[in-house]
Amino acid sequence: MEVVNAIGRRKAAVARVFVSEGTGVITINKRDLALYFPSSILQYVVKQPLTKLGVAEKYDIKVNLDGGGFKGQAEALRLAIARALVKINPEDKPALKSEGFMTRDPRSVERKKPGRPKARKRFQFSKR
């Protein structure tokens, strides 16, 4: 099997994924998954599509992660892995779609408006 690549985005984070047959090693920016995401919750989020299909030990995954915070990066990586798995085997798509792993989360930070301290916050009103 050749290398399958896919891309996932969430907020400002971009994950480029390269999936090849192997033993289940996930390498992010030349570091191990457990070193890059010390939080077990984020490790779980990243592995969700693999465990759903039961192929966690079947593929080696190399990842380039850029931008955003750790939560956004983990969710971008989850989307990229799900997209790569569908490229490998299109029959897996309904199972991943039902769990919501195929959907790009469109929510991002609202821009700051002029004359305000933040996007929606207003300066304190003073009557006198």
Q: What is the DSSP string of 47-81?
A: HHHHHHHT-TTTEEEEEEEESS-HHHHHHHHHHHH
Q: What is the pTM of this model?
A: 0.89
Contact indicator for 102, 83 with CB cutoff of 8 Å: yes
Q: To the nearest whole number, what is the mean pLDDT of the chain?
A: 92
Q: What is the pLDDT of residue 56?
A: 85
Contact indicator for 82, 74 with CB cutoff of 8 Å: no
Spans of the chain below 50 pLDDT? none
- The candidate with the shortest Cα–Cα distance to 11, out of 110, 102, 108, 103, is 108
